A and B are shown apart, each in its own frame.
Chain A
Amino acid sequence: MAETVLMRNFGRPDSHTLAAYRAAGGYAAWEKAKTMEPTAIVDDVKKSNLRGLGGAGFPTGMKWSFIPKTHTGPVYLVVNADEGEPGTFKDRYLLERDPHALIEGMLITARAIRSALGFVYIRGEYVQPWRRFSAAVKEAYDAGLLGNGFEVVVHRGAGAYICGEETGLLSSLEGKKGWPKIKPPFPAIKGAFGQPTIVNNVETLCCVPPIIERGAAWFAGLGTKTQGGTRMYSVSGRVKKPAVYETSVSITLRQLIELAGGVSGTGRLKAVVPGGGSAAILTADEIDVTMDVDGLKNAGTMIGSAGVIVMDESVSIPEALLVLARFYAHESCGQCTPCRESTGWIEKIVHRIVEGHGHKDDLDTILDVAKRGGGTTICAFYDGAIGPYISYIEKFRPEFEALCRS
């Protein structure tokens, strides 16, 4: 297995403290970055092939370079710590066990994009991560790491999944209802409070100090041709050792399941969700795929937030879909018509099927409705929702039909 980069400090005593972080060589990257031109930092991150680890997999260095060069007003750095994708719990570990890695990543990133103010939007349910991270911010202020040209504001969410969507997060941060914003303009041009804003995921920013310290080429070499580094996979469901695993992005799904101790329950694999609730499901025959952005894209699904949910043969796929359908109906923000109306509609149909009152035609209705609504909304929420709607039914149709009348 590849070396441990992001979780390198997790095993140290009091790893969340500044003293422990420093003792492990922390903030050396920041010292180095301070001597670098901002453009050189951006170039390093571009060369490292770091891609966003929150879900979309967008190249991080390229995102940073979208800040208008001529802009003279404030630029904001916003950290997306609203980790809410079903089956994902990696950012929680970083915030709790290595909060200074995030602060160091923010400092370097702020220098690269010339930002003097950063916001960290933490999921409301994440109480312990918020406590740990806030304490780390205080330590960093006391040590003079923060407050000398870069300030950090910690903001807690109030429990809406949609506020993890980049622009929904910005609306919420601005004090408005957490509705995603219409694009264009993109946040790098006009983001939080109308200013150019870079929104990055916690894990993404935690990759930045190692890149600066050990070099872009080293980081790029850890991964595949199109994605550098390692990443943290949240493995849950029917595996013997559910946990967060950090490995190279070139690992296959089969290897990852083995790393997590193999399939538990009946011991016979039925299906795997490879990248959080919004990723299309894979059958037991489809797990020889590499767990990088492009590997899963080619397999017709997505790595998303790398939340791997393993289902053994005892799991009912229709019931699993009902859980997700209920989730999407509950969490749709209600802004765009197709998503607002059809998430609720599909939940009702799936519910009816699971209760034994479905009809085979209902399955075609779900597929048709999902396909028609895809790609018609402001944000990617609905495109995420239709991943499971379509793949669960298409790949496990007989199981649904067995519950239907006629």
Chain B
Amino acid sequence: MPKLTVDGKEIEVEAGTNLIEAARRLGIDVPHYCYHPALSIAGQCRLCMVDIEKTPRPSIACNTLAADGMVVHTQTDRVKETRRSIMEFHLINHPLDCPVCDQAGECWLQIYYMQHGLYDPRMVDEKVHKPKAVPLGPHVMLDAERCILCSRCVRFCDEITGTGELGIFSRGDHSEIGLFPGHDLENNYSGNVVDICPVGALTDREFRFQVRVWYLDTSKSVCPGCARGCNVDVHVNRKRPHHAGGRRVARLKPRFNEAVNAWWICDVGRYGFDAVDDPSRIRFARHGGVDVTRDEALGLLVAALRDHAPDEIAILASPELSNEDLFALRRLAEHRGIRQLAFGVPPGKAGADDDFLLRADRSPNTRGAEAVGFAADADSILARARAGALKVLWVIQHDLPGSGWPTAATAQALERLETLIFTGTNENGTSTLAPLVLPLAAWVERDGTFTNFLGRVQRFRAAVEPLGDALAGWDLFGLVLTLLGGASAGGRAELWFRELAKTVPAFAGLTYQSIGDGGAMLAGALPTTAPEPPGRRVKAHA
């Protein structure tokens, strides 16, 4: 392994490590635009110049591999001058429209100009004009004048998705990013080009003009869109509630996790959070169509569970619930002796695997529900209801009439019940039928863990307060358990996870600390890595 010196600090790195990464390990930032660790080396922005002893002129750090005995300087006068020059070149034809640009505040032209540029502009001639506000696809908007032609987006479509929609057309300072004729940027990963665009050239059509990035707060989370559990940052706007139509969740951004999703998330997940701030959210408990207090609703719920024989009660849980929620629910069922407990993946929600991250199972916690001890089989519960053997059915989150279960059979089952109780985040076909409705906190409003389809347990964190009287699942189920005379694990998700780890062998030894930001495997599950991107797979030639 080569040992080198960067700015006087020694470091040993694996063979094949370039100088940007070697410096990064020492906490030294070598400014760059075109280099991205997931993409091939383009070497064209020319910003990452460093001085290497015994080399006559500055070299680009991205295409220089660390070598034994190499002495690298990232802060020589010559390097600083080169950076200033390159920044000047990057900006001479840039429109400098920061006040109306969505990238402002997270733009690497701004950041590097403030750190390394700070020259007086000398460009007095007319700038080159290029197309602006060009929709490339359903999610991505191009401003070619802001583009610095780093080619990251082009390489992404070539090397990651393998779809190759984008190219650089024309030459010289008239070069511009564009679509190949007959193509739109509509692959399921198109939103990622906005993330990797270092400037305001590619912006998100959903996010643009909604809220300034400096008003956003970030929470580490996990995408609930499918069983992969891609790591995300949830960006929420709490500081300017009058912006973005009052929507609190502004956007999702992928969070790097080499074991799950690497740098990427799919568009299904990225744009799948609308329900959180939708008018259909259930804010308050309701009985017989009238809002009631939480205590009143809990009293009615407890009565229904207490006043019927356990055999007459069934609980249909959801794979959208967290491990903690499901474990609290299991405790509650055990306390009352309720054995008809299932989670049921709705048939209508199933999609298909795509060729990269998205899983056919669009629920985040199917594997977790199984591991906590829930049966997957919702059909037998519905069959028993149809047979008249059930009096109380507590449905959590499911839209029974609208999720692909046979319509007539489902209606028949619900008709024969004495009491239908619904707990969920949003109004749906079940909530309109259920006399008793209790609100559930949405995924961004609560703490918890999901277990992905490969058995990786991953934490997600509350980013905003629950709406109205909504509670997290574990909180609600814990309260019911207490009211029924049982012992709740406590008022934090972590306490329920501790109980889970103590009780269920698959979770043995796991703690929130050991799960950390990257997740940890269930006992017996093999370690995972993010899948090979389709664009990198060797294609068999027909």
Contact = CB atoms under 8 A, between A and B. Distances in A.
A376 B86 contact: yes
B77 interface: no
Given A177-B167, A334-B171, A340 B85 contact: no
Prevailing SS type, chain B contact patch = loop
B167 A329 contact: no
A256 B513 CA distance: 81
A341 B173 contact: yes
Contacts of B125: 345, 348-349, 352
Contacts of A377: 46
Interface stretch (B36-44, B290-298, B299-307, B471-479): B36-44
A304 to B, nearest CB: 21
A378 B43 CA distance: 7
B242 interface: no
Interface stretch (B89-97, B133-141, B362-370, B410-418): B89-97
Nearest to B81: A372
Contact of B171 (A160, A341, A372, A373): A160
A375 B56 CA distance: 10
A330 interface: yes
A331 B89 contact: no
A333 B86 CA distance: 17
B174 interface: yes
Interface in B53-106: 57-58, 63, 81-82, 85-86, 88-90, 92-93
A334 B171 CA distance: 5
Contacts of A376: 46, 49, 58, 82, 85-86
Interface residues of A, number: 31
Nearest to B33: A337
B49 A334 contact: no
A403 B140 CA distance: 48
A314 interface: no
Contacts of A345: 92, 123, 125, 173
B171 A365 contact: no
Contacts of A331: 171-172
Interface string A98-119: 0000000000000000000000
A20 interface: no
Interface residues of B, number: 35
A343 B173 CA distance: 8
Given A182-B63, A334-B149, A376-B49, A344 B173 contact: yes
A337 B148 contact: yes
A283 interface: no
A338 B85 contact: yes
A250 interface: no
Interface string B340-355: 0000000000000000
B128 interface: yes
Interface centre among A343, A344, A352 (most CB of B within 10 A): A344
B93 A341 contact: yes
B123 A340 contact: no
Interface string B119-160: 000110110100000000000000000001100000000000
Given A160-B171, A330-B172, A352-B125, A340 B149 contact: yes
Interface of A: 160, 162, 177, 182, 184, 329-338, 340-345, 348-349, 352, 365, 372-373, 375-378
